[in-house]
């Protein structure tokens, strides 16, 4: 390729991919301001020109007539995601620190095997877990409860936290531990006061992954909670029927994905600095 | 050092025990159930030895869902890798609005798969959706995207590529950003062009990250079922069913708990074996040592 044509090629490819990425959001955004007439007449794209925008869809998701209320599902999703992420990050970074700094040998099991055990749990298909979880939670009286959903979500998130944090801790020089120890810190103090403050980029990336997989989980919530606790993905999918109120569905969908999109914008600086590279080696 | 042994367990055990406790019961339960004809309506869990496994061997719907998953996961992960790597290379250096593109290209990964599948279902709608409308404007015939088996698979793959290419993009961009600068300077001094620099310098340096990213995506893609549930419900017929979705149908909707347990374990074992072999082959093909 001639060098002069390269920029043209580059920006064309970027623009095409950007349209593909943004397309569904554009469609959801315009649809959320349509009414029944604007939807049933065929595809339209431009507000004011092709159809008259209305806020019905958005009113419907905040308790308007004929809609759903997304506030309670939003709160449920937020509690489950934050609690499960927090538990996974605490347990996960403690375990990751141990695996990064100490040598374990239990019979033939070594450090790398323990790390592999954690990470291998991601291979487990949710459908293998969900029926036993159902009976386990029923036995514990936690079916259809936030606490029950938090416990099973930890099983999804803990492997991610360990995976990201082990490699991040491996990248932190051991001299930092030694300095803290010389200053009279015990192991736990060393971890809390010397290692954690140096781990914010790694913790941010791990927290982001936990938040994504926790917030976006549908299957566990779908099978293990019913009437008492409804999460946001459940609420949105419940709207998706054969003759859907597309305007309400679009508004609810945008409302449901907005928190994590904002999170993406915020954590991009950590993600793009190569902080993750340790985790993929 | 005094107390070190106690301390190192103190760090590891809370996480390890939590995961063991959460995982071990379901696994033992599923193994037990898979040797029974149990369903939710029968109170006793009988023992029928390998009858479920025998049934499974002749269940062509299960085996074709496995084959379909291999094609879907393999195909979409390959497409995701190529596009994700390409996009990461394009916005790696000297591009206007670099930060904007990076954020935009990440966004689909952050969105809920079932929720976005519902949006895609509108887009693929045969008469009211924008896709067929655009095809019509171009003078092409409309396609029954979700009600014909071929187009339905294309639709499913499109959604998967849209959702998860950002994950490849993210890992590969992080890898590119942490590469050393010297090999590129050496290549520039030798007068290597863009194409040559990529194949001789960038690609080999990125091989470990590439293998890790592909394996991670294959692991996640092998569980594909949420978007199938919303987009096509496995249809038309069973032409877009993945094992995850078929197991949901058998075990939860039709309550054939024992039978779905047998298939679950088979699916899990097949996945572990396949992924291990693929990981070993990729590692060997790219002559990596000591990398996962």
User: With a CB-CB cutoff of 8 Å, which residues 163-202 of chain B face chain A?
Assistant: 166, 170-171, 173-178, 194-195
pLDDT of A198: 84
Percent of chain A residues topping a pLDDT of 70: 92
- Give the C-alpha separation, B247 to B123, whole Å: 28
Does B80 contact chain A (CB < 8 Å)? Answer: no
Map out the domains of chain A with their CATH numbers: 70-239 (1.10.3720.10)
The closest CB to that of A98, out of B11, B115, B177, belongs to: B11
Q: A18 near B88, Cβ under 8 Å? A: no
Question: A216 is written with which tokens?
Answer: 């976006």
Q: Is the model's pLDDT at B174 over the cut of 70?
A: yes
Show the DSSP H helices in chain B as ranges: 4-34, 51-57, 60-90, 98-106, 113-123, 130-137, 149-177, 182-189, 194-197, 203-221, 226-231, 243-248, 257-285
Q: Which residues from B are below 8 Å from A246, CB to CB?
A: 122
pLDDT band at B160 (very low <50, low <70, confident <90, very high): very high
- At residue B291, the pLDDT reads 44
Q: Per the CB < 8 Å rule, is B116 touching A23?
A: no
* pLDDT, tens digit (0-9, with 9 covering 90-100), for B221-230: 998 888 898 8
CATH value of B60-289 in 1.20.1250.20, 3.60.20.30, 3.30.450.20, 1.10.3720.10: 1.10.3720.10
Burial of B66 (0-12, 13-18, 19+ CB in 10 A): middle
pTM of the model: 0.89
- Per residue in B80-94, pLDDT tens? 999 999 999 998 887
Closest CA to A54 of A274, A215, A246: A246
Q: pLDDT value at position A136? A: 87
Query: Residue written as tokens 């290379």?
Result: B89
Q: Is the pLDDT of residue A203 over 60?
A: yes
Chain B stretch 220-259, residues whose beta carbon is closer than 8 A to a beta carbon of chain A: 220, 222-223, 225-226, 230, 243-244, 247-248, 251-252, 257
CA angle (A66 as vertex; A64, A69 as ends), nearest 5: 50
Span of A81-90, B112-121, B178-187 with lowest mean pLDDT: B178-187
End-to-end C-alpha distance for chain B, whole angstroms:
32
Contact A253 B248 (CB under 8 A): no
Quickly state the pLDDT bin for A3 (edges 50, 70, 90): low
Give the nearest chain A residue to B180 (CA atoms).
Answer: A274
Residues of B in contact with A154 (CB under 8 A): 18, 22
Helix then strand then coil, % of chain A, to nearest 5 = 75, 5, 25
A-B contacts (CB, under 8 Å): 272
Task: Tell which residue, A92, A110, A87, A81, has the closest CA to residue A167.
Answer: A92
Question: A222-244 burial by CB neighbour count: b if 16+ within 10 A, else e?
Answer: bbbbeeebbbbbbbbbebbeeeb
Average pLDDT in the A57-69 region? 76
B14–A20 C-beta distance less than 8 A = no
Helix (H, G, I), strand (E, B) or coil at A31: helix
The structure tokens listed for B235 are 């249809």
pLDDT value of position B67: 93
- Contact by Cβ (8 Å): A72, A80: no
> What average pLDDT does chain A have?
85
Phi, psi of B194 (to 5 degrees): -55, -50
Tokens of A247: 């305007």
What is the band of A122 on the pLDDT scale with cuts at 50, 70, 90? confident
Q: If you search the block for the tokens 């069973």, which residue do you land on?
A: B238
More confident site: A214 or B10: A214
pLDDT at B247 over 70: yes
pLDDT for B64 equals 92
Q: Which residues pair with B49 in a beta bridge?
A: none
pLDDT of residue A181: 85
- The reported pLDDT for the residue numbered A274 is 55
pLDDT tens string A124-173 = 888 888 888 888 898 889 988 999 999 999 999 999 999 889 888 888 88
Domain coordinates in residue numbering, chain B: 60-289
pLDDT over threshold 70, residue B8: yes
Confidence of residue A9 (pLDDT cuts 50, 70, 90): confident
Instruction: State whether residue B47 is helix, strand or coil.
Output: coil
Q: A130 and A219 in contact (C-beta within 8 Å)?
A: yes
**Confidence band, pLDDT 50/70/90 cuts, at residue B249:** confident
Distance CA A199, CA A275 (A): 10
pLDDT confidence bin for B51, thresholds 50/70/90: confident
The nearest CA of chain B is from the CA of A249 a distance in Å of 8
Checking if the pLDDT of B189 tops 80, the result is: yes
Question: What is the average pLDDT score of chain B?
Answer: 87
Out of A94, A136, A239, whose CB is closest to B14?
A94
Residues of A in contact with B171 (CB under 8 A): 276, 280
Q: Is the Cβ pair B26, A91 closer than 8 Å?
A: no
Digit-coded pLDDT (tens) for B67-78? 999 999 999 999
């Amino acid at each position: 390729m001639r060098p002069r044509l390269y920029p043209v090629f580059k920006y064309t490819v970027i623009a095409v991919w950007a349209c593909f990425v943004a397309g569904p959001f554009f469609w959801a955004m315009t649809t959320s301001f349509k009414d029944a007439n604007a939807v049933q007449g065929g595809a339209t794209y431009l507000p004011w020109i092709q159809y008259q925008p209305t806020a019905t869809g958005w009113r419907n998701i905040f308790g308007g007539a004929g809609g759903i209320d997304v506030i309670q599902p939003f709160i449920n999703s937020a509690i489950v995601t934050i609690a499960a992420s927090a538990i996974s990050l605490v347990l996960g970074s403690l375990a990751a620190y141990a695996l990064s700094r100490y040598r374990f040998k239990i019979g033939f099991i070594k450090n790398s095997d323990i790390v592999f055990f954690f990470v291998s749990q991601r291979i487990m298909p949710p459908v293998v877990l969900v029926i036993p979880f159902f009976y386990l939670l029923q036995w514990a009286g936690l079916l259809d409860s936030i606490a029950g959903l938090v416990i099973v979500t930890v099983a999804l998130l803990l492997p991610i936290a360990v995976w990201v944090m082990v490699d991040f801790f491996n990248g932190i020089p051991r001299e930092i531990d030694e300095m803290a120890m010389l200053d009279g810190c015990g192991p736990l103090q060393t971890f809390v006061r010397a290692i954690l403050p140096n781990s914010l980029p790694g913790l941010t990336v791990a927290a982001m992954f936990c938040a994504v997989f926790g917030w976006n989980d549908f299957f566990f919530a779908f099978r293990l909670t019913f009437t008492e606790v409804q999460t946001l993905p459940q609420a949105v999918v419940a709207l998706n029927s054969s003759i859907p109120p597309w305007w309400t569905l679009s508004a609810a969908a945008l409302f449901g994905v907005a928190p994590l999109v904002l999170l993406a914008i915020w954590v991009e600086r950590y993600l793009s600095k190569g902080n993750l590279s340790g985790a993929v080696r | 050092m005094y107390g070190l042994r106690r301390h190192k367990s103190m760090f590891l055990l809370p996480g390890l025990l939590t995961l063991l406790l959460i995982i071990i019961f379901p696994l033992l339960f599923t193994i037990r159930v898979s040797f029974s004809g149990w369903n939710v309506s029968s109170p006793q869990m009988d023992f029928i030895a390998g009858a479920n496994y025998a049934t499974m061997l002749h269940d062509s719907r299960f085996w074709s869902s496995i084959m379909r998953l291999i094609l879907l996961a393999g195909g979409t992960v390959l497409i995701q890798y190529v596009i994700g790597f390409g996009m990461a290379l394009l916005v790696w250096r000297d591009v206007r609005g670099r930060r904007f593109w990076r954020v935009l290209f990440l966004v689909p990964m952050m969105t809920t798969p079932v929720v976005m599948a519902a949006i895609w279902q509108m887009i693929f709608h045969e008469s009211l959706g924008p896709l067929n409308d655009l095809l019509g404007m171009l003078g092409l015939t409309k396609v029954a995207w979700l009600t014909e088996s071929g187009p339905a698979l294309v639709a499913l793959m499109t959604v998967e590529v849209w959702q998860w290419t950002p994950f490849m993009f993210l890992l590969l961009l992080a890898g590119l950003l942490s590469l050393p600068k010297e090999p590129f300077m050496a290549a520039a001094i030798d007068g290597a062009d863009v194409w040559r620099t990529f194949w001789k310098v960038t690609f080999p340096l990125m091989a470990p990250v590439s293998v890790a990213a592909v394996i991670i995506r294959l692991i996640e893609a092998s569980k594909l079922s949420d978007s199938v549930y919303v987009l096509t419900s496995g249809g038309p017929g069973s032409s877009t069913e993945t094992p995850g979705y078929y197991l949901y149908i058998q075990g939860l909707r039709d309550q054939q708990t024992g039978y779905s347990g047998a298939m679950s374990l088979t699916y899990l074992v097949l996945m572990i074996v396949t992924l291990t072999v693929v990981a070993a082959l990729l590692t060997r093909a790219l002559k990596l040592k000591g990398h996962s």
